[in-house]
C-alpha cells in the first residue's frame, strides 16, 4: 500500500483515514484499482463484445488483427452497442428507483403504508394537474392513488410520449421530434435499447446512438423526474437548510447510524426511528448522549435536502467511514454500494444491514423493507444499533465538520429569488453572473478524490459562474466549504454581489443524482422566461469524476436537453473515432449541444467558460474573450 | 529462426497473454479445466504497468550469454540450441533464487509446476512454448495477442518492418498518421489523469 495519501484524495479526512486504514490493514477501493492495472485496453476503448455466444470478440485498434466480431459487427457497431447498453443500465437504475417511490405513493393512497404520508399536498395537486387528473373536491389520498396510476402508465407502453416532457420548452420538444428521439415509455425505451443491441437487430451505429438518446431522455424526463417529484410529495419539497459535512459529523458520544444508497424510502423511516423518544431514552440508558444519523452518497443527500441530516462523505469515503470504528449500524439500499463494505465492517463492531429485495451484499444482514413494514422494522433495527453501542472499540474521528447549506429545490430557488426567475435572468443579462453550470456525478479512483470537482468549481465561481450541484459533487463542495456563509469569498465580484443580495452560497445543493432533473426544470424555466431553447442559454454541465452507468445516462439526457457537458474520465468509446466525433461535434447539428472530454479540471473550466461566453454572444449579451 | 518479438506500443493491457501462457503450461491445456488443477498453472509472461497505466508484456529475453545461466551453481539452466531458448531443468533446480538475482528483467518466478517433482518449488520462466513449437504451433502468448503487441517472426522480418516504418516517416510529404488514433486519445487522457494525481 502506498503512503502517498495526497495522491489519492485532496480531503483531510480522507488522507487521515487512509492512514488509519493502512494501519488496520484494510483493502480499499484504491488498492483494488492499483491491482487492476493495467486495465484492458479493448474494454477501455469499447472494442470488446460479450453480447452473444459466438463471441466473446474484440477488435484490434491497430487494424492488423481482427476488425470484426464473429457476427460481422465492426468497431463502430460494437462501441455503439456497448454504449447503448450502458445508457440502458443507467436509465433502468434511476427509473426503477422512481418506480419504487410510485409504489409507496400507491400504498399510501391505499392506506397500506403506515409511517408514510403525503407531506406536500400542494405539489401533489400541482403534479396531478400536469397529469390531467381532475383534483377538484377530491380527497388527497384519492388524488395520490390516481397520480400513482397515471405515473405507472408512463412506465408502460400505452402512451405516445411521456407526460412530463411538457415541462421542456416547446423548441426543445420539436428538436426531439425532428430527431425521432421523443421517449414513449420509460421501461419501453430501456427494453428497446436491449432489444436493438441483441445480435442481428440494429446495426446502424447512428440509429443505435439515437435510441440511446431516447432511452436517456426516458430517464431524465421520465423515471428520474418521477422519482424526484414523488419524493417531494411524500417527504417534502426541500427548502434551504443548515447541515454539516465530512467524517467529523460522526459523534464519539452518540450512537452513530449511517444510511448509504439512493432511495429515501428506507432512510426516511430510519430517520423517524432515530427521533423516537423511547429509542432515544434507551440510547441514554446505554450511556450514549443521543442518536446521530448521518448520510453517505445520495440517500444521504435526500435526507440532507429535506431535513438537514449531516453528510459523512461521498462514494470514495464509504469504506473509510466504517474504519472510524464509530458507526454502530450502516443501512444500505441500492446503487453505488461497494460489495467490499461488509468485509471492512468485519474489522469493527459495525452492523451492516441490506434493506432492498433487489440488492444483497456479502457479510451484511438482510432485512427487507416494504411500505407495510418499514416504520416498524426501522424501529426494531435502530434499537439493535443502540444495543451495539456498548460493543464499540477504539474510535477515530479525525476532523471537525464543515457547515453547509443545502435544500435548493427549484421551488426554493425561485422562492429565494422572490417568486420569479427574473432576478437571476437580470443578473445574467447584466453580466454579473456569466452563466450557470450543473456539476454532477461520482468519484472515481482514476481521478484524485474530489480534486476534479473542487478545482473545476473554484474556477467557475471565481469567474462569476453560478454552480448548482448534486450527488457526490454536492458532498465534495460542502466538505470544501463552498456552501456556507463564508463561501462567497470564493466567488467573483458579480456572483458575490448577487449571492450576497439573495443570501445564498455560490454553489447550490440541488440534491441527489435523480435530482439532476431539478436542473432540467430550472433550465426550462429560464429558457421559457427568455422565450428560447435550453441550448441557447449560457449553461453547461460537467461530470469531472464520473464512474457509473447512471452518470452516462445523465450525461446523455443533459446533452439531449441542450446542455453542453464536459466529462472528466473518457467513456469507453475511443475504439470508434466516428462515435467520438459524433458525440463531441456531430451532435451539435442534431441536438444543439455536444460532449467534451477533459480530465484536467482547469482546462475543463476554460472549455466551459468559452462555451458560456459564446452562448452569451448568441443571446446578444456582452461576451468576454476567454484565453 | 523465429522468435517472440514484443512491440510495447501496441500492448493494450488485456492480459490475455498471461491467461494463455498459464493454460499452455497446464496439465490439461484447456482453460476451464486448468483453473481446477493442482498445482494451479501460472503464467510465465507478466503484464506490468507503465507510468501512465499502460501495459507492457514482460517475458524472458533468452539472453546469450544468459546471466541466469552463469549464476546457476547446480547447472540447472541450459540453452536449447534447436529453439534458441534458455531452459530450466526442474530436477536440478535447488530453488536458491540466484538466477532471479542475476536476471535484469525480473522474469523468473518460484512455484510448484507440473513439470517439476511433486511439491517441489522450482524456478519457472518462459520456455518459448517449445512443446507447442515441436507440434508446429506458435507460442501461446502470440497466438492470443490480437493487437500484435507480440509477434512470432525472425529478427530480420521484424527489423525490416520497423525499418520501413521509420523510412516512411521521413518520406517527402509524409503525413504522420497514427496507427490507432483512438488508442492515442485514450492514452493522452490516462496520462493527464496520472499527472494530475501528482499535483
Give the number of C-alpha atoms closer than 13 A to the C-alpha of residue B71, restricted to the C-beta side. 16
ipTM: 0.77
Residue A399 to residues A312, A420, B36, Cα–Cα distance (Å): 11, 40, 49
Q: Is the pLDDT of residue A19 over 90?
A: yes
For residue A3, is pLDDT > 80? Answer: no
**Is B199 a residue whose pLDDT tops 90?**
no
Q: Which residues contact A297 (CB under 8 A, 6 or more apart)?
A: A260, A261, A262, A314, A315, A318, A336, A471, A472, A475
Report which of B193, B159, B113 is spatially closest to residue A452, judged by C-alpha positions: B193
pLDDT of residue A4: 87
- What element of type H or E holds A205? helix A205-218
The pLDDT tens digits for A204-243 are 999 999 999 999 999 999 999 999 999 999 999 999 999 9
- Which of the residues B17, B20, B177, B182 would you substitute to probe the A interface, choosing the one with the greatest number of A C-beta atoms within 10 Å? B182
* Contacts of A352 by beta carbon, 8 Å cutoff, 6+ apart: A329, A330, A332, A341, A342, A345, A361, A363, A364, A365
Q: Can you spell out the DSSP letters for A538-570?
A: SEEEEETT--SHHHHHHHHHHHHTT--EEESSP
Res B176: pLDDT: 65
Among B50, B182, B199, whose Cβ lies nearest the Cβ of A61?
B182
List residues bridging with A597 in a β-sheet: A567
Please report, for residues A72, A367, A429, A521, the alpha-carbon distance to residue A425 in angstroms, rounded to integers and kept in the order given: 53, 49, 6, 15
Average pLDDT (A160-188) is 97
Cβ neighbours of A571 in B, within 8 Å: none
- Quote the CA–CA distance of A59 and A63 in Å, as a whole number: 8
In angstroms, the CA B185 to CA A596 distance is 13
Residue with cell 443527500: A301
Phi, psi for A257 (deg, rounded to 5)? -120, 135
Q: Which of A274, A525, A242, A306 is nearest to A378 (CA)?
A: A274
- Nearest alpha-carbon partner for A190 in A565, A588, A550: A550
Q: What are the backbone angles phi and psi of residue B55, rounded to the nearest 5°?
A: -90, 160
Q: What is the pLDDT of residue B170?
A: 81
Task: Tell me what pLDDT residue A485 has.
Answer: 87
Q: Which residue of A33, A60, A62, A67 to mutate against B (max B Cβ within 10 Å)?
A: A62
Is residue B180 less than 8 Å (CB to CB) from chain A? Answer: yes
pLDDT tops 60 at residue B56: yes
- Residues of A with Cβ-Cβ distance to B193 under 8 angstroms: 446-447, 569, 599
How many other C-beta atoms can be found within 10 angstroms of the C-beta atom of residue A368? 13
Q: Distance between CA A56 and CA A35 in Å, rounded?
A: 24
Q: Which helix (H) or strand (E) holds B6?
A: strand B2-6
Measured between CA atoms, the residue of chain B closest to residue A597 is: B189
Q: Flag whether pLDDT at A1 surpasses 60.
A: no
Supply the mean pLDDT for chain B. 93
Alpha-carbon A601 to chain mean position? 19
Per the listing, cell 400505452 goes with A158
Cβ of B147 and A41 within 8 Å? yes
Q: Would you say the C-alpha torsion A132, A133, A135, A140 has a positive or negative sign? A: negative
In the block, residue with C-alpha cell 421520465: A222
Distance from CA of B87 to the nearest CA of A (A): 29
Chain A partners of B50 at a C-beta cutoff of 8 Å? 38
Cβ burial, residue B167 (10 Å; 0-12/13-18/19+): exposed
Answer yes or no: are the C-beta atoms of A83 and A579 closer than 8 Å.
Answer: yes
Smallest Cβ–Cβ distance between B192 and the set A60, A62, A600 belongs to A600
Query: In Å, how far are A458, A599, A612 from A435, measured between CA atoms?
Result: 15, 22, 6
Closest residue to A574, CB basis, from B14, B146, B185: B185
Residue A575 has what pLDDT? 95
The DSSP code for A112 is -
The answer on pLDDT for B178 being more than 80 is no
What does the DSSP assignment read for A345-360? HTTSS-EEEE--TT--
Can you give the length of chain A in residues? Answer: 627
Handedness of CA B113, B117, B120, B121 (dihedral sign): negative
Q: What is the pLDDT of residues A467-510, one digit of tens each?
A: 999 999 999 999 999 999 899 999 999 999 999 999 999 999 99
pLDDT-derived band of residue B32, with 50, 70 and 90 as boundaries?
confident
- Cα dihedral sign for A166, A167, A170, A174? negative
Hey, is A477 helix, strand or coil? helix
Distance between B80 CA and the closest CA of chain A, angstroms: 31
Name the grid cell of A200.
442481428
Partners of A542 in beta bridges: A439, A566
Nearest in space to A143 (alpha carbons), one of A117, A125, A116: A125
Task: List helix spans (H) across B13-139.
Answer: 16-24, 31-34, 67-71, 98-102, 130-134
Q: What is the average pLDDT score of chain A?
A: 97
Q: Looking at residues B55-72, what average pLDDT do you find?
A: 97
B197: pLDDT strictly greater than 90: no
Nearest CB neighbour to A599, from listed B11, B145, B192: B192
Helix A451-462 vs helix A601-618: crossing angle, to nearest 10: 40
Residues 391-430 in A contacting B (C-alpha not used; CB under 8 Å): none
List, as ranges, residues 134-173 from B with C-beta within 8 Å of A: 145-148
* Chain B environment of A10 (Cβ under 8 Å): none
Around Cβ A420, how many Cβ atoms within 10 Å?
11
Please indicate if any CB of chain B lies within 8 Å of the CB of A30. Answer: no
Please give the residue of chain A at the shortest CA–CA distance from B147: A60
Using an 8 Å CB-CB cutoff, list chain B residues near A42: 12, 14, 146
Q: What is the pLDDT of residues B66-124, one digit of tens each?
A: 999 999 999 999 999 999 999 999 999 999 999 999 999 999 999 999 999 999 999 99
Interchain proximity B185–A580, CB inside 8 Å: yes
CB-side neighbour CA atoms (13 Å) of A25? 2
Buried b / exposed e across A89-117, counting CB within 10 Å, b at 16+?
Answer: bbbbbbbbbbbbbbbbbbbbbeeebebbe
Tell me the residue ranges of DSSP E strands in A459-594.
465-470, 507-511, 539-543, 565-567
- Tens of pLDDT, residue by residue over A398-423, are 999 999 999 999 999 999 999 999 99
Of A570-574, A575-579, B65-69, B160-164, which gets the smallest average pLDDT? B160-164
For the beta carbon of residue B130, count every other beta carbon within 10 angstroms.
14
Sign, CA torsion A169/A174/A180/A185: positive
CA gap A558, A219 in Å, rounded:
11
Query: Using a CB-CB distance cutoff of 8 angstroms, which residues of chain B are in contact with residue A15?
Result: none
Quick check: A61 contacting B, CB < 8 Å? yes
Q: How far is A36 from chain B (nearest CA, A)?
A: 10
Q: In this complex, do A448 and B197 lie within 8 Å of one another by their Cβ atoms? A: yes
Q: How many residues does chain B have?
A: 199
Using alpha carbons, select from A520, A472, A509, A515 the residue that is nearest to residue A487: A509
Task: Please state the rounded mean pLDDT for residues A603-610.
Answer: 98
Determine contact: A41 vs chain B, CB below 8 A.
Answer: yes
Instruction: Please tell me the pTM assigned to this model.
Output: 0.92
Residues facing residue A295 across a β-bridge = A259, A311
B10–A569 C-beta distance less than 8 A: no
* B-chain residue closest to A60, CA distance: B147
Over residues A458-479, the pLDDT tens digits come to 999 999 999 999 999 999 999 9
Contact check, Cβ <8 Å, A65/B50: no
Cβ–Cβ below 8 Å for B183 and A60? no
Amino acid at each position: 500500500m502506498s503512503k502517498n495519501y495526497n495522491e489519492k484524495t485532496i480531503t483531510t479526512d480522507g488522507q487521515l483515514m487512509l492512514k488509519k486504514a493502512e494501519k488496520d490493514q484494510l483493502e480499499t477501493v484504491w488498492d483494488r484499482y492499483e491491482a487492476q492495472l493495467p486495465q484492458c485496453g479493448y474494454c477501455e476503448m469499447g472494442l470488446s463484445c460479450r453480447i452473444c455466444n459466438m463471441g466473446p470478440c474484440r477488435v484490434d485498434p491497430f487494424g492488423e488483427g481482427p476488425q470484426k466480431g464473429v457476427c460481422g459487427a465492426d468497431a463502430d457497431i460494437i462501441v455503439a452497442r456497448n454504449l447503448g447498453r450502458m445508457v440502458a443500465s443507467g436509465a433502468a437504475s434511476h427509473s426503477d428507483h422512481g418506480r419504487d417511490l410510485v409504489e409507496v405513493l400507491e400504498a399510501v393512497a391505499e392506506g397500506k403504508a403506515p409511517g408514510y404520508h403525503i407531506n406536500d399536498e400542494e405539489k401533489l395537486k400541482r403534479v396531478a394537474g400536469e397529469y390531467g387528473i381532475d383534483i377538484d373536491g377530491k380527497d388527497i389520498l384519492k388524488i395520490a392513488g390516481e397520480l400513482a396510476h397515471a405515473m405507472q402508465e408512463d412506465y408502460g407502453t400505452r402512451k405516445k410520449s411521456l407526460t412530463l416532457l411538457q415541462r421542456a420548452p416547446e423548441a426543445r420538444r420539436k428538436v426531439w421530434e425532428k430527431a425521432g428521439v421523443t421517449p414513449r415509455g420509460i421501461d419501453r425505451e430501456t427494453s428497446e435499447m436491449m432489444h436493438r443491441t441483441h445480435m442481428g437487430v440494429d446495426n446502424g451505429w447512428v440509429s443505435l446512438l439515437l435510441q440511446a438518446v431516447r432511452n436517456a431522455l426516458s430517464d431524465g424526463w421520465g423515471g428520474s423526474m418521477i422519482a424526484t417529484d414523488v419524493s417531494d410529495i411524500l417527504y417534502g419539497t426541500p427548502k434551504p437548510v443548515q447541515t454539516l459535512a465530512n467524517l467529523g459529523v460522526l459523534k464519539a458520544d452518540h450512537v452513530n447510524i449511517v444510511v448509504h444508497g439512493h432511495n429515501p424510502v428506507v432512510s426516511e423511516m430510519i430517520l423517524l426511528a432515530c427521533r423516537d423518544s423511547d429509542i432515544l431514552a434507551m440510547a441514554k440508558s446505554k450511556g450514549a448522549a443521543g442518536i446521530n444519523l448521518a448520510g453517505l452518497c445520495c440517500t444521504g443527500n435526500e435526507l440532507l435536502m429535506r431535513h438537514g441530516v449531516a453528510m459523512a462523505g461521498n462514494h470514495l469515503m464509504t469504506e473509510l467511514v466504517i474504519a472510524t470504528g464509530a458507526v454502530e449500524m450502516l443501512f444500505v439500499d441500492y446503487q453505488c454500494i461497494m460489495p467490499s463494505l461488509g468485509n471492512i465492517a468485519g474489522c469493527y463492531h459495525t452492523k451492516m444491514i441490506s434493506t432492498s429485495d433487489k440488492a444483497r451484499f456479502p457479510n451484511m444482514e438482510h432485512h427487507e423493507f416494504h411500505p407495510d413494514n418499514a416504520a416498524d422494522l426501522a424501529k426494531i433495527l435502530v434499537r439493535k444499533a443502540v444495543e451495539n453501542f456498548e460493543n464499540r472499540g477504539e474510535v477515530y474521528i479525525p476532523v471537525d465538520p464543515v457547515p453547509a447549506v443545502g435544500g435548493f429545490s427549484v421551488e426554493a430557488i425561485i422562492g429565494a429569488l422572490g417568486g420569479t426567475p427574473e432576478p437571476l435572468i437580470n443578473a445574467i443579462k447584466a453580466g454579473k453572473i456569466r452563466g450557470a453550470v450543473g456539476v454532477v456525478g461520482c468519484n472515481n479512483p482514476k481521478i484524485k478524490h474530489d480534486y476534479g470537482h473542487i478545482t473545476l468549481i473554484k474556477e467557475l465561481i471565481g469567474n462569476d459562474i453560478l454552480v448548482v450541484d448534486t450527488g457526490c459533487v454536492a458532498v465534495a463542495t460542502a466538505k470544501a466549504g463552498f456552501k456556507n456563509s463564508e463561501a462567497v469569498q470564493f466567488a467573483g465580484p458579480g456572483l458575490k454581489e448577487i449571492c450576497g443580495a439573495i443570501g445564498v452560497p455560490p454553489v447550490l445543493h440541488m440534491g441527489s443524482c435523480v435530482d439532476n432533473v431539478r436542473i432540467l426544470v430550472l433550465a426550462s424555466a429560464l429558457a421559457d422566461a427568455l422565450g428560447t431553447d435550453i441550448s441557447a442559454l449560457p449553461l453547461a454541465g460537467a461530470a469531472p469524476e464520473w464512474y457509473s452507468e447512471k452518470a452516462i445516462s445523465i450525461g446523455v439526457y443533459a446533452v439531449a436537453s441542450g446542455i453542453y457537458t464536459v466529462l472528466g474520465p473518457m467513456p469507453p468509446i475511443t475504439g470508434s473515432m466516428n462515435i467520438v466525433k459524433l458525440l463531441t461535434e456531430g451532435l451539435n447539428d442534431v441536438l444543439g449541444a455536444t460532449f467534451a472530454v477533459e480530465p484536467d479540471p482547469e482546462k475543463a473550466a476554460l472549455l466551459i467558460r468559452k462555451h458560456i461566453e459564446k452562448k452569451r454572444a448568441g443571446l446578444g449579451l456582452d461576451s468576454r474573450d476567454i484565453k | 529462426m523465429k522468435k517472440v518479438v514484443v512491440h510495447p506500443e501496441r500492448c493494450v493491457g488485456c492480459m490475455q497473454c498471461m491467461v494463455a501462457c498459464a493454460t499452455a503450461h497446464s496439465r490439461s491445456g484447456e482453460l476451464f479445466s486448468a483453473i481446477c488443477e493442482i498445482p494451479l498453472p501460472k503464467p510465465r509472461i507478466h503484464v506490468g504497468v507503465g507510468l501512465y497505466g499502460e501495459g507492457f508484456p514482460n517475458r524472458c529475453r533468452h539472453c546469450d550469454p544468459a546471466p541466469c545461466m552463469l549464476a546457476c551453481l547446480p547447472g540447472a539452466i541450459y540453452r536449447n540450441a534447436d529453439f534458441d531458448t534458455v531452459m530450466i531443468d526442474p530436477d536440478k533446480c535447488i530453488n536458491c533464487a540466484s538466477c532471479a538475482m542475476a536476471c535484469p528483467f525480473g522474469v523468473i518466478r518460484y512455484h510448484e509446476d507440473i513439470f517439476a517433482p511433486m511439491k517441489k518449488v522450482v524456478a519457472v520462466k518462459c520456455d518459448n512454448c517449445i512443446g507447442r513449437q515441436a507440434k508446429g504451433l506458435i507460442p501461446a502468448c502470440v497466438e492470443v495477442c490480437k493487437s500484435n503487441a507480440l509477434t512470432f517472426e525472425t529478427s530480420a522480418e521484424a527489423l525490416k518492418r520497423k525499418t520501413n516504418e521509420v523510412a516512411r516517416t521521413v518520406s517527402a510529404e509524409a503525413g504522420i498518421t497514427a496507427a490507432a488514433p483512438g488508442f492515442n486519445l485514450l492514452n493522452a487522457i490516462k496520462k493527464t489523469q496520472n499527472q494530475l494525481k501528482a499535483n
